[in-house]
Amino acid sequence: MAPRKSSKKSVRKYGKAAGKTVASAMRRKKSGTLRSGKGGKGGVVKSRKQAIAIGLSEAREKGAKVPEKKAS
């Protein structure tokens, strides 16, 4: 039996602008121009997870709808 759909409307966790910023970061990672560190002088990003984190951080700075960082 198929799972029931809830009557509650689905709410997006991330805004569309945040998705575009992350996609941009992924493209820069793929082309080798995405860097991490102070003033962009750090090393080239090779990790997919790090690229996503950088994209979300940039989206937050722009004011896009992104959940707050988890406390670690």
Domain spans, the chain: 16-62
Dist CA 16 CA 24 (whole Å): 13
Q: How much is the pTM?
A: 0.78
Per-residue pLDDT of the chain (72 residues; tens, 9 = 90+): 667 666 667 888 999 999 999 999 999 999 999 999 887 678 999 999 999 999 999 999 999 999 988 876
DSSP state of 63: T
pLDDT of residue 4: 66
Per-residue HEC secondary structure of 11-47 comes to CCCCCHHHHHHHHHHHHHHHHCCCECCHHHCCCECCC
